[in-house]
């Protein structure tokens, strides 16, 4: 069978996490319209009759690393490409102009000597388009494939081409023992990511950059219900007030959305208890 490791790289919000989720067929990596959504490389496995693909969804590359968090994100994305990767998928969002951020990503990809596929995403969007700005880059890649990760357009073609570049080898992962396709995420980390996703969806522009989430407890009660105790950490008291909301409305919305998705996924009753804390140094402690 054909098996290999495939890394996705691109600037923020090109659709890397959406692509991995829709290829795998379930949520592995959280998504939102805001940068810094993916904060660490997420590994997930896809398998069919042809073989096995281990996808590595890397954080988006930022042009400027203005804080400890974005510095770590850039470092994490670049370090993945120095590992034993078989193929790179370089995602481009044609609806956005080429800029310093894109040039930085391209510079990183150029250093790789393994096969590279340029994946032009969001082709379901006809306007605006800046596709002409990316034409010169195509000759640097093994091939170019246009897709819509959101609408699943050309994902079958993309998978066919990915497999064509992978070597013949034994499976890299024993999927029979997996309970979730995310290889480097335990239940606490996945739930923490889910809470962060819901916070991103409900909160305004400036707040998401200042928060993270931590799950302290996941227990199954005697009635088979799941109890989740978690914290949202933010860097300033003013953001804490915004996350809690007037009379606790915002944190209830975040908790309710998390609970509904967890109940759909687990088919169990779920109780979610989320508190909000100010921690000005959480970014420095992120690994």
Q: Binding site for GTP: residue ranges?
A: 10-17, 57-61, 121-124
Q: With beta carbons less than 8 A apart as the criterion, state whether 114 and 86 touch.
A: yes
- The CA distance from 29 to 181, in Å, is 10
- The CA distance from 222 to 112, in Å, is 53
Q: With beta carbons less than 8 A apart as the criterion, state whether 193 and 31 touch.
A: no
Q: Annotated binding residues, as ranges?
A: 10-17, 57-61, 121-124
Question: What one-character-per-residue DSSP string does 206-268 give?
Answer: TSGGGEEEEEEEEEE-TTS-EEEEEEEEESSHHHHHHHH-GGGHHHHHHHHHHHHHHHHHHSS
Question: What one-character-per-residue DSSP string does 39-73 give?
Answer: -S-EEEEEEETTEEEEEEEPPPPPSS--SHHHHHH
């Amino acid at each position: 069978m054909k098996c290999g490791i495939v890394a996705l790289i691109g600037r923020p919000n090109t659709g890397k996490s959406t692509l991995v989720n829709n290829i795998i067929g379930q949520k592995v990596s959280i998504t939102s319209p805001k940068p810094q959504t993916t904060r660490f490389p997420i590994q997930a496995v896809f398998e069919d009759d042809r073989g096995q693909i281990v996808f590595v969804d890397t954080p988006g590359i930022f042009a400027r690393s203005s804080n400890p968090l974005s510095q770590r994100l850039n470092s994490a994305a670049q370090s993945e490409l120095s590992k034993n990767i078989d193929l790179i998928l370089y995602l481009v969002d044609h609806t956005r102009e080429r800029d310093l951020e894109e040039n930085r990503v391209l510079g990183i990809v150029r250093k790789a000597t393994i096969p590279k596929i340029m994946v032009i995403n969001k082709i379901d969007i006809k306007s605006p388009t800046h596709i002409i700005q990316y034409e010169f880059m195509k000759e640097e890649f093994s091939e170019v494939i246009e897709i819509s990760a959101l609408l699943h357009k050309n994902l079958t073609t993309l998978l066919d081409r990915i497999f064509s570049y992978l070597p013949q080898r034994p499976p890299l992962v024993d999927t029979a023992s997996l309970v979730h396709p995310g290889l480097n995420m335990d239940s606490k980390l996945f739930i923490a990511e889910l809470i962060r996703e819901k916070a991103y969806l409900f909160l305004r522009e400036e707040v998401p950059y200042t928060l993270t989430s931590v799950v302290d407890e996941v227990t199954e009660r005697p009635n088979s219900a799941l109890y989740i105790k978690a914290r949202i950490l933010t860097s300033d008291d003013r953001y804490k007030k915004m996350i809690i909301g007037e009379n606790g409305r915002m944190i209830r919305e975040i908790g309710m959305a998390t609970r509904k998705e967890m109940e759909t996924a687990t088919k169990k009753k779920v109780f979610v208890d989320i508190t909000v804390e100010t921690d000005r140094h959480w970014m420095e402690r992120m690994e």
